A and B are shown apart, each in its own frame.
Chain A
Amino acid sequence: MKIGAIAGITFKEAKRDRILYLLFFFAAVAILASRVLAILTVGDRVKIIKDVGLASISIFGVLMAVLIGTSLVYKEIDKKTIFTLLAKPLHRAEFILGKFFGLVLTLLVMTAGMSLIFLAIVYLHTFRIEWTMLVAVAYIFLELVLITAVAILFSSFSTPILSSIFSLAFYLIGHLSWGLELLIKKMQAGAGRTAAQFLYTFLPDLENFNFKTEVVHNLPIPAGIFVYSFFYGIFYTAFILGLAILVFRRRDFI
């Protein structure tokens, strides 16, 4: 109930943010512009449209999660609205979870909007609604959920600019860490490999949520990978939220 109230107010606040609409506008432009790119490209035009469309949803979704997520908690502390909230019978964990779910709801609405434009553009070329695209979108959304948790973690102890840099760094590391996995396979056993393995265990691997290629090219995806990626997302998000709550619980609000 209390988490719901905080989430509701967060949703109301986030949907008033102009950045959100600016990013949505650019995402829409990028999805529409995929048609132009398709004309310029040799090969399967529809695949280019799908590729660019899904990438746009992913990138602009991440920017929304980071730019709004990093200011949400900070703003409450900076404007001191948190004083009256925490004086109520509200646990700090409930506050963090409320903020998280509020932003997740905002991103859900935005992702749905972007997907609608994307599906419409694809429909104009194939004359059918390609529901399989939504599989890739669902995992992009799961990634956004994780990025939201990361943005809120940084926002609970840092300024919005620093938090945005940290969160975007997390996103980049997450999409490059698969290189480490390759490296581990090629390394000889020893201290170096153990260290690389240790690092790989803790660093995020956001490629787990990337089903764009498979969906665009109609490649089969084993069910096990779906399940693994789903639980990977859920547990990693829970871990990051747990950290955010731990940091937030011990904080003094001067």
Chain B
Amino acid sequence: MADAIKIENLKKSFRLGFIPKTREILKGISFSVKEGEIFGYLGPNGAGKTTTIKCLLGLIFPDAGTIEIFGQPHLSTRARQALGFLPENPYFYDYLTASEFLAFYADLFGLPRDEKEKRIARLLKLVGLERAASLRLRKFSRGMLQRVGLAQALINDPKLVILDEPLGGMDPLGRKEIRDIIVRFREEGKTVFFTSHILQDIEMICDHVAIIVGGRVVKQGALQDLVSEKVLFTEMTVSGVPPEAFRGLGQSLSTQGDRVFLKILEQGRVDDVLALVRERKGQVVSLSPRTETLEDIFVETVTGT
């Protein structure tokens, strides 16, 4: 089975400014995305995420390197037929209604009229905009634009969906809905490539991730391989015991009323703290071990490079 996306040694520089100065944005990016997986592409602002996507879509031409989509050169019509794309901060023709807008994109794929109407109705329902079908995009909120943007990305029933910050500007409920839609894509056998600043979202739904910093992929792999199960520390909230009692066992971070919030770095000390609370007739309000998260890896990777 061919990779959905295969990028090898991708390089791109721009000459910008009044006195042109060359800025190397991508310094040899290589990674591949397997068919049917959800791939998270992370990096700080200006790392080259959007530039990579623009190269992938043929909006900019790389200086060096190759890009293949399902084994086809990325600029070929066959590769494009299988692709759906939602840009960051999407802006669309605001004088069109949601239905007219989707019909226009359907025409670019040459969909027959019946199929077009059916698909538009289905997609508007999928993104929760069936009531706004005849509303002009000018009146849409940012979250609604994001949804209609997602609908246009799916108009050709693509095998590969590329989403640039799809969860930006959404309220928590909207984010959950979009996350659910992305997970459903995987069930339908679609491949999803997406960038996000919201690491918890990536952690929740991605199979593979790549972290890009300064135009280079510095870490990539399956999420479970990157994030270890190791407990970093334990957070505990205790009541009825004064904070001084925990000296030497854990860090007392804050107190609220008779509640003490503790951070216990050594796992072996957790039992000692529990014993102490029992002995002093106190009460454990909460206890949560903190394992390594994607955010920890991200911060460690970005600050380390």
Stretch from B107-115, B192-200, B251-259, B268-276 forming part of the interface with A:
B107-115
B95 near A13 with CB under 8 A, answer yes
A156 to chain B: closest CB distance in Å? 15
CB distance from A102 to the nearest CB of B (A): 12
Query: Does A125 sit within 8 A of B, measured CB to CB?
Result: no
Q: Is B60 an interface residue, CB under 8 A from the partner?
A: yes
Q: A16-B95, A254-B14 are in contact. Are A87 and B104 (CB under 8 A)?
A: no
* Chain A residue with Cβ nearest B81: A89
Interface centre among B14, B107, B110, by most chain A C-beta atoms within 10 angstroms, is: B107
In Å, the complex CA distance between A1 and B105 comes to 12
Q: A87-B57, A88-B105 are in contact. Are A13 and B93 (CB under 8 A)?
A: yes
* B41 CB–A CB distance under 8 Å: no
Contacts of A12 in B (CB 8 A): 93, 95-96
A5 at the interface (CB under 8 A from B): yes
A85: B residues at CB distance < 8 A: 108
Q: A198 near B: Cβ within 8 Å? A: no
Q: How far is the CB of A86 from chain B (nearest CB, A)?
A: 6
Contact, CB under 8 Å: A81 / B83: no
Stretch at the interface among B32-40, B84-92, B296-304: B84-92
Total of A-B residue pairs, C-beta within 8 Å: 77
Interface size on A, residues (CB 8 A): 25
Tell me which residues across on chain B come within 8 A of A1, comparing CB atoms.
Answer: 107, 110
B-chain residues with CB within 8 Å of residue A5 when the two chains form the complex: 104, 107-108
Inter-chain contact B110/A81, CB cutoff 8 Å: no
Q: Return B59 CB to nearest CB of chain A, in Å.
A: 4
Q: Which residues of B contact A90 (CB under 8 A)?
A: 80, 108
Q: Which residues on the B side are within 8 Å of A16 (C-beta)?
A: 95
Partner among B14, B87, B95, B107 whose Cβ is within 8 Å of the Cβ of A83: B87
Verify if B58 is at the interface (C-beta below 8 Å from A): yes
Question: A89 to chain B: which residues have CB within 8 Å?
Answer: 77, 80-81, 108-109
Cβ of A253 within 8 Å of any chain B Cβ, yes or no, is: yes
A76-88, CB under 8 A of B: which get 1 and which 0?
Answer: 0001111111111
Q: Are B60 and A84 in contact (CB under 8 A)?
A: no
Are A83 and B85 touching (Cβ within 8 A)?
Answer: yes
User: Is the CB of B152 closer than 8 A to any CB of chain A?
Assistant: yes
Chain B contacts to A: CB under 8 angstroms: 14, 54, 57-61, 77, 80-81, 83, 85-87, 89-93, 95-96, 104-105, 107-110, 149, 152-153, 156, 162
